[in-house]
Amino acid sequence: MTSAPLGVFDSGLGGLTVVRALRGRLPDEAIVYLGDTARVPYGTKSADTILRYARTCAGVLTRRGVKALVVACNTASAVGVEMLRAELDLPVVGVIEPGASAAVEIAARLSRQGDPRSGRIGVLGTARTIASGAYTRAVGGLSTRLEVVGSAAPLLVPLVEEGWLDGDVPRLAVERYIAPLVAAEVGSIVLGCTHYPLLEDTIREAASRLSGRAVAVVDSARATADAVAALLEARGLRHEPSSAGPSARARSMLELLVTDVPASFSAMAERCLGMTAPDVTLVDI
């Protein structure tokens, strides 16, 4: 199983930011990515619909023999991770628990420094993710002393999809969404959507400017990559390079599946991956 690929799915292409982090953290692992672009966004759907979508996406990837499943979608993680863990005979990692864990570590550091913001964690996410209370539960499972303040940011995903990553429009949108978090004096802001890392610099700058001091920003994609690396090590599933050097096969092997090919596919995939996207396979689920 060590040479089997990792399976990653998201409601669209934003989850490719998680793939990018995984490739950086685990360069010898092959990855099969499924973007459910025909049914994006998940954030506006009912919980029952999201569960059905998550189950079908997981089915596509498990039939390709993946050794672990990464739910690279905050909405699907909030609703469907426990169901998938119960139904599948392989490890399942969502993006919420790693992001929450990273934020709790920042809160502990701020507390040691005597920073009064140490008791509050901010979360930017889709309306469904914020309403689910998933981050509140995840943080509460790690510490009962921390408060989670959520802010739904529905315009940020279409801005990223359109490539509006800098300039006045994304800056003003970000300022509006993080204003309640700054007012609540949060010590960190978790990027609770896989699209948001592409706006990380804008979010960090705006939060620091509005608050008058630095605000830590948690990229759940990087936190998830660290969590997957730890899981593979613990389960003995990590693919090791050959004695001849790093595996060129795994470095170059990224299978990209989508349920629809949007007009902006190439540009969006390139932005998320930080590289030219591989050939894409259209699948019907």
Domain ranges of the chain: 6-94+222-282, 97-220
CATH topology of domain 97-220: Rossmann fold (3.40.50)
Lowest-confidence segment of 124-138, 147-161, 197-211, 230-244 by average pLDDT: 230-244
Query: Using CA atoms, how far apart are residues 249 and 163, in angstroms rounded to an integer?
Result: 31
Average pLDDT over the chain, rounded to an integer? 92
Query: Using CA atoms, how far apart are residues 7 and 66, in angstroms rounded to an integer?
Result: 5
Cβ within 8 Å of residue 219, ≥6 positions away: 21, 191, 197, 200
Task: Give the residue among 253, 233, 231 at the shortest CA–CA distance from 23.
Answer: 253
pLDDT digits (tens, 9 = 90+) for 51-102: 999 999 999 999 999 999 999 999 999 989 999 999 999 999 999 999 999 9
193 is a catalytic site residue:
yes
Q: 6-94+222-282 domain in CATH 3.30.470.10?
A: no
pLDDT at position 186:
97
Query: Using CA atoms, how far apart are residues 258 and 35, in angstroms rounded to an integer?
Result: 5
73 is a catalytic site residue:
yes
pLDDT at position 127:
86
Look at residue 243 and tell me whether its pLDDT is greater than 60: no
Which listed residue (72, 73, 92, 207) is catalytic? Answer: 73
6-94+222-282 and 97-220 agree in CATH topology = yes
pLDDT digits (tens, 9 = 90+) for 178-221: 999 999 999 999 999 999 999 999 999 999 999 999 999 999 99
Which listed residue (193, 207, 268, 269) is catalytic? Answer: 193
